Structure 1
Amino acid sequence: MTQPVSPPRDDTPKVSPVEGPSQWRTLAARADVRTLSLLGVLAALILIGGITKPDEFLDTRNLQLVLTQASVIGVVTVGMTFVITSGGIDLSVGAIVALASVWATTVATQEYGFAGILFTAVIVGVGCGLVNGLLIAYGGMVPFIATLAMFASARGLALQITDGKTQIVTVEGVLDLGGRDAYILGIPPLVMVFALVTVIGWLLLNRTTFGRRSVAVGGNAEAARLAGIDVRRQRLYLYLLSGLCCGVAAFLLIVLSGSGQNTNGNLYELDAIAAAIIGGTLLSGGRGTITGSVLGVLIFTTITNIFALNNLQSDVQQIAKGAIIVAAVLVQRRTASTT
């Protein structure tokens, strides 16, 4: 009796709709629309500033000031974007910037000159990031709690180091870097550093295995672990990166202000998170965009500048920022529900 022949087995791996080319094209199209929308908002703000205060807002020095102010929080936001993309959060970035800035401007540190200040700011930032990463990745602590503890500790230590006083920088090399004579083709050095950090961050997130692993961990940590990714080590690296960005931002702030204060970096954590969210980074993790985060920083910095030039109260400014954040989150939820 002839045995029935079973159909040949198809071992070709199936591609889920989420991973299919059409879905990727859809996501890319949405990203382009989001970027164009942010550029439209930024252009509208520039138009408003040009109409309300044309002489002051469109002045070259004011535009240089806007970009310089955006540079400090922008560097912090690049690190925050990676953390949020991985499904984490870092509430300690502002406090780390404060601690790094005051530690790097003590009399003992300034005796080592430019290199001593830069090295101290960076190493303090990385050290704080290491503590955060170890507590979260290997200590099993929730990111919110671990970074909140770092926030309190770093602020307290910064206050203890300064005793509530402003520490003035006396190193000529650092002060000269913040002067107009250091501008190259009209571009402040701080803006160049911000641009360099942005490019590196974009390449790291979009063109490296590190970036793909960060997105995978944020999308589904268990699936990433089963795929062979060391989730704990990846999270440690991400908080190290965030701490590094805080250290660089602290040095930029020292150059910008010529001093170190325990109040430095106040509310930086909220501004960085807000900029990343309105830029399109998903708060729940799994999606991040450096370009969007940078545009978010520029939007918030421009709003602040316009309000300052028009002598409007800061509370109205905060309300405007809050409205933008709420609108961005609602758009994210709507986009996620249709994906």
Structure 2
Amino acid sequence: MTQPVSPPRDSAPKAPSAGEPPAWRAVLFRADVRTLSLLGVLAVLILIGGITKPDQFLDTRNLQLVLTQASVIGVVTVGMTFVIISGGIDLSVGAIVALASVWATTVATQEFGFAGILFTAVLVGLGCGLVNGVLIAYGGMVPFIATLAMLASARGLALQITDGRTQIVTVDGVLDLGERDSYVLGVPPLVLVFAAVTVIGWLLLNRTTFGRRTVAVGGNAEAARLAGIDVRRQRLYLYLLSGLCCGIAAFLLIVLAGSGQNTNGNLYELDAIAAAIIGGTLLTGGRGTIVGSVLGVLIFTTITNIFALNNLQSDVQQIAKGAIIVAAVLVQRRTASTT
């Protein structure tokens, strides 16, 4: 009696057809190329700084200063990255930092010491973020208009609180964080906070449903809604997150400057948006990386430091930044057109 013959099995799974790599590989490839490109730009800038001002630029104190200055705007940029990925924009981050910094450095607030200053800065940031989120998510306002209104209001309130004067911090616990004695293995505390915010932001974006929902809302809000995502609540959370980052950045700025001023955070919104863009975050939403945004911050901060050491005018710095932003947008458009 003959046994039925089973059909032959393939010894190996079929490979994808040539010219059609899996989509996830293409995405990872673009991300790797973008990250390597940003690292290359940063390396070139470090090389330029080392050649033009070797004794000053490569000095440990100067490198610590660059990282410290990057920490404040870097924390703001992490929050901005989430907002832009969702398809929104936040023009009020600089004004929120100013308002939080002056509110947290009033005489009444400083009477509560270190905890009072930190709590007030974070609470003001969250409050402003809540107002932005409610107006945009539930009020139906365009993010550009809502955050522009917050920019004007927060700046005006900050000026009213300070009456145009600088508010000096007298709390030793806050001032001590800016001293070299508080450095951990040569790393300033502000840099450690920035690193912690970056790691948390990366995990939140890449390892949680919150991050996946953010990308989904930015990619196609209607499709995200049909998939069961509460788009309005997600947007509210995102502006709360941006406000939280502004509050943390305001506290770092207080430590760095030892004071609160209504002019704090000037043009932070432009710097944060620019850093996110050159880091690969699409202004139309749906794509972005925390690592790319952080590298964008480091690139801009390094450029500013090199220009300052070489006594170049600030207008030249702005021109250079503008050229970098244009180049980054052109690269984004070319990459999008080829995918």
Q: TM-score range by the shorter chain?
A: over 0.9
Q: Which residue of 1 aligns with 2:16?
A: none
Q: Between Structure 1 and Structure 2, how many residues are aligned?
A: 320
Q: Distance in 2 between matches of 1:86 and 1:44?
A: 32
Q: Distance in 1 between matches of 2:54 and 2:177?
A: 29
> TM-score scaled by structure 2?
0.94
**Residue type of the alignment partner of 2:81:** T
Q: SS of the counterpart of 1:312?
A: coil
1:1-339 equivalences under 5 Å are 22-339=22-339
Unpaired segments of 5 or more residues in structure 2?
1-19
**Residue type of the alignment partner of 1:109:** T
Q: Distance in 1 between matches of 2:204 and 2:231?
A: 17
Q: Distance in 2 between matches of 1:54 and 1:287?
A: 38
Q: SS of the counterpart of 2:22?
A: helix
**Residue type of the alignment partner of 2:208:** T
Q: SS of the counterpart of 1:29?
A: helix
Q: Distance in 2 between matches of 1:95 and 1:21?
A: 46
Give how far 1:337 is off.
1.0
Deviations 1:23-57 (A, max 9, x none): 11101101000000000000000000000000000
Q: SS of the counterpart of 1:105?
A: coil
Q: Distance in 2 between matches of 1:36 and 1:278?
A: 13
Q: Distance in 1 between matches of 2:138 and 2:169?
A: 38
Q: Distance in 2 between matches of 1:191 and 1:277?
A: 22
Give how far 1:21 is off.
7.5
Q: Distance in 2 between matches of 1:205 and 1:306?
A: 32
**Residue type of the alignment partner of 2:263:** T
Deviations 1:160-186 (A, max 9, x none): 000000000000000001100000100
**Residue type of the alignment partner of 1:196:** A
Deviations 1:58-98 (A, max 9, x none): 00000000000000000000000000000000000000000
Q: Which residue of 2 aligns with 1:16?
A: none
Q: Distance in 1 between matches of 2:178 and 2:125?
A: 21
* Percent identity (aligned): 91
Q: SS of the counterpart of 1:255?
A: helix
Q: Distance in 2 between matches of 1:306 and 1:203?
A: 32
Q: Distance in 1 between matches of 2:313 and 2:302?
A: 15
**Residue type of the alignment partner of 1:228:** G
Q: Distance in 2 between matches of 1:330 and 1:254?
A: 37
Deviations 1:102-159 (A, max 9, x none): 0000000000000000000000000000000000000000000000000000000000
Q: Distance in 2 between matches of 1:179 and 1:48?
A: 29
Q: SS of the counterpart of 1:56?
A: helix
Give how far 1:288 is off.
1.2
**Residue type of the alignment partner of 1:138:** Y
Q: SS of the counterpart of 2:256?
A: helix
Q: Name segments (4+ residues, structure 1) moved above 6 Å.
A: none
**Residue type of the alignment partner of 1:221:** A
Q: Distance in 1 between matches of 2:305 and 2:298?
A: 10
Q: Distance in 2 between matches of 1:27 and 1:337?
A: 14
